[in-house]
Structure 1
C-alpha cells in the first residue's frame, strides 16, 4: 500500500482522536477507534515492544465492534510481514496464557465491562501485560497510516488457545474435584460462557445455563448492577444450586455468588483464593478490603495504585519473597509464582484471571463441606461497598480531589459526616480517608471512563453500603455546583 501521510508520533494521532492508554490498555469511543487509529497503535506496538517477534497472537471479546478492530490490528501485522495467530473470541487471560506458552506477544480487543459504545486494545509481551514504560514508548513511536486502508477479512480461528486454557485448570484441579456440585452459569455476553461450562463439566460439576444473550451486557464486577443483584436472588429461589458464576465481558474478572444468589465481594474472593494457594506475599491495590492485613494469613501485604500494571510491577519486585499473588477489588486474580501440588503445577499467570478464583472457592467449599456463604466467616468483619457516578469529566473529578485533599472539614462533610473526624488520608490513588470510627471512604476518578468511583469499608455490610450511597448522593449535588463554579464545558 502507498503511504498517505508523513510519519509522525502516535501521540499526536492519539490526542486528535481522544484514544489514549487508561488503567490498562488503549480505550476510547468506538467511533474514535477508527481503522487508522487501531492500525497506528498496532504499528507502534510492533516497532517498540514486539520487535523480533514473527508471530503475534490476536483475540477479542464478543462486543459488536471487536472483530472489526481486530481486523485493523491484523492488517498492520500483515503489512510488515508478521504472522497473526487469530484465536477468535477468547477470555483475555486465555490469550495471555497462550502467549506465555509460545513466547509470543499478543493483542486482545476488549472493552471489558464498559458500555458497548466504547472499546479497548490491550497489548501483551510474551511474559505478560505491557508496563507503563512500554505505553510511553508506543506513544512516542512514529507511525504512518496507509492510503485507502481497508483491512482484509479475519483469518481462520486457531482453537488451540482455548484448549490450552481449559487444560490449565483441569490438569491442576483434577477430574472429579467438583463432583456433586450444581453450578449456575450466568452466561450473558461473556466471552468465557462456553469455556467455563467446559471447565466445570470436566471437573465433574453439573452446570445450569442462565441468562445467555447475544446483546452485549456491561457487567462490572466491582459495581454490580441492581438488576443483576435482583436476578441472581430470583434465580436462587427458582433453581437449586451451590453457586452462581459469571464474569465481565472479557472474563478477566469473576462474579461469584453463593447458594442464596448473593454476589461475593471481589476483594474477599481475593483473600480466600490467596489463602487456598498458601501465598506468602499478597499484592493488592489500596482500594481493597483491609481484612487482608487483619486476617494474619500472609507474611507481607503490599498496597499499590489501582490497575493491574501496578499490581504486576510490585509482584515482580517481591518475587524472591516466596509464593506471590495479586488481586484487585474487582476480583481479578493474578498468579506471580508457580504453584506445585503433588505432580501438578499451575504455572504463573501475571494477568487478571476469573477462572482460578472461581475454582479455588469451589474447591475450598467442597474440601471443607461448607456452603459458599460460609467461606468468609473466619475473616475479620470488614465489609466493603462500591459504586460510581457516571458522566463526570476527568477535570471535574481532579478538581474535587484537590479540594478535598486540602480541606479536611469539607472532606468529612461530603464523604462521611457521621463517622467522626478524618484521622488519615491516603493519596496513593485518589483520596482514601480513614475516619475516627474506623470506617473508610475512598474516592477515585476512573482511569478508563468519565466516572467517579466510591469505595467504602465498615464493620457491617449495610453500613458500608450506606456510607457509599450517601457519599455519592452528596457528591452529585456538590459536583453540579463545582462544575458551574469552575465554568467547565458541558
Structure 2
C-alpha cells in the first residue's frame, strides 16, 4: 500500500514512510492548519512508531514550532491533552492494520482535521524546510489526566462487584485501561498481553479472537471482557457469555445513558438507533471527519459514534458523579465504561437485549488493493444488473439502494448488505444487517465468499 493521505491522515507501508516523506507532511500540516501553542506528539506500540516520531519531532522543531513529547499514549488521551493546552497534535499510529504499516493522524488546535484541512495540507506539500528552532517539552501526565477524566465523572464505586477481563495484547492504552477499570471499583484480570504488535480490528473481530474471548470469559467467570485496537480509540466489549457487543450497540446505550438529544453516526451503523427516543438521528458517510461535521451542524446535546465503537462527545455530559467535558474524537473508554455501568447489577447481555431487535455484523477481505476494490464497488453502484447478479448468488433481492458511501442494498427479504472499500487499508468491507444473528452471520459469510470469487474472476 503506497503511502496515502486521506480521512485518517497519512497511512502506508513502513518502508515507504521515509523521514523525508514524513517531514514533508508535517511541514504541510504546520503551514495549512492552526498549531495553537504547539504540537503534542504521541505514538502507539508498533516497532516503527518511535522512529517515525523522531522524524516528526525534527521536522516540527525545524519549522520553529514547539513540540510536546507525550510518549506512548492512546489517541483520545493525546487529543484530550492537546485540547487542554490549546495545541495541535500528531499521533503516530496505523490503528488496527498490521505492523508493517503505520501512519500519522493530525489534529489542529480545534480538533481532528476536516476534509477542508485535508485538501489544504495536500496543497501545501513540497515546501522547503524552514530554519526555525522550536522548543522541545515533555508531558508525562497525559495518561494520568485521561484516567482522572473517568474517575471524576463516574466515581470509585461505578463498577464495584464486576469481574472484568482486559485483553491487553499490544494496545497502547492497556495499562491506562487497567488503571481506569480498577479505580472504578472493578476486579481486573489482564489477559493476552503481548510484546509483539497484534493488529486487532474491533469492528471485524477475527474468528480465532472470538473463540479465545469466549474461552477466557468462561475460564475466569467474567462479567465482561474489554479490549481496544492498537491506538486505543476503538473499543471491544464481550458480555458474560463471551458474545461480542457491536460497537454501534455500545454507541446506542452510551448515548441514552448520557441523555443525548441528537445522534450522528455513519450509514453503516445499526439502524435500530432510529427506533430509540432521540430527538434526531443524522446519518453520514463513513469516517470520523464526516461524523464531526454532522455534529458541528447540530446544536444542543449532540454525540457521534461509529460502527467500530469509537465515541465522540459533543457536549458537557453528566456522568454518575461528575461531568465529562466534550471530546470530539474517537474514544474507546467512554462507551466501554458507560455500557458496563448501564447494565447495573444485571448481566450485560440483558442490557444489550433491551436495544431494538436489529443485528449488525461486519467483516472484510484483506489484501485487496484499492485498484481492485474501488472499480468493483463503482460497478455495483452504477449497474443495477450487477447488483442483481451479486444478490442472486445469495438468494436475495434488492428493494432499494443507498450510495452515500459504497453500495448499501436494502433487501426485499429484510436486512441490508453494504459493500465498501476501505479508505485507508487494502481491504474490502462488508456490513450486514438482519433480524437475527444467524441470518445476519449467514449473509455475511456467503457474501464475503462471493465477493472473493468475484474479485478473483
Interval containing the TM-score (normalised by the shorter chain): over 0.9
Classify the secondary structure of the residue corresponding to 1:31: helix
TM-score with structure 1 setting the length:
0.89
Q: Deviations over 1:66-110 (max 9, x none)?
A: 111111011012112222111101000000011111111111100
1:454 maps to 2:430: yes
CA–CA distance in structure 2, aligned partners of residues 274 and 214 of structure 1: 35
Aligned to 1:242: 223
CA–CA distance in structure 1, aligned partners of residues 405 and 187 of structure 2: 42
Q: Deviations over 1:196-249 (max 9, x none)?
A: 111111111111110001100100011101111010111112112111000000
1:392 maps to 2:376: no
Aligned to 1:23: 7
C-alpha distance 176-425 of structure 1, shift in aligned 2 (>3 A): same
Aligned to 1:109: 92
Aligned to 1:487: none
1:48 maps to 2:32: yes
Whether the 8 Å contact between 2:4 and 2:424 is mirrored in structure 1 is no
Please report how far the alpha carbon of residue 145 of structure 1 lies from its aligned counterpart in structure 2 after TM superposition.
5.9
Equivalent residue for 1:288, pick from 269, 288, 297: 269
Structure 2 unmatched ranges of 5 or more: none
Whether the 8 Å contact between 1:19 and 1:32 is mirrored in structure 2 is yes
Aligned to 1:297: 277
1:351 maps to 2:332: no
Whether the 8 Å contact between 2:393 and 2:450 is mirrored in structure 1 is no
Aligned positions of 1:315-464 closer than 5 A: 315-318=295-298, 320=299, 322-340=300-318, 344-366=322-344, 369-415=345-391, 417=393, 420-464=396-440
Please report how far the alpha carbon of residue 256 of structure 1 lies from its aligned counterpart in structure 2 after TM superposition.
0.5
Classify the secondary structure of the residue corresponding to 2:16: coil
C-alpha distance 257-396 of structure 1, shift in aligned 2 (>3 A): same
Aligned to 1:5: none
Whether the 8 Å contact between 2:66 and 2:136 is mirrored in structure 1 is no
Classify the secondary structure of the residue corresponding to 1:375: helix
Aligned to 2:150: 169
Query: Could you tell which deviates more after superposition, 268-277 or 342-351?
Result: 342-351
CA–CA distance in structure 1, aligned partners of residues 145 and 159 of structure 2: 20
Aligned length: 455
Aligned to 1:271: 252
Classify the secondary structure of the residue corresponding to 1:169: helix
Please report how far the alpha carbon of residue 343 of structure 1 lies from its aligned counterpart in structure 2 after TM superposition.
7.0
Whether the 8 Å contact between 1:39 and 1:145 is mirrored in structure 2 is no
Taking only aligned residues, the RMSD between alpha carbons, in angstroms, comes to 2.0
Whether the 8 Å contact between 2:251 and 2:306 is mirrored in structure 1 is yes
CA–CA distance in structure 2, aligned partners of residues 428 and 193 of structure 1: 35
Aligned to 2:187: 206
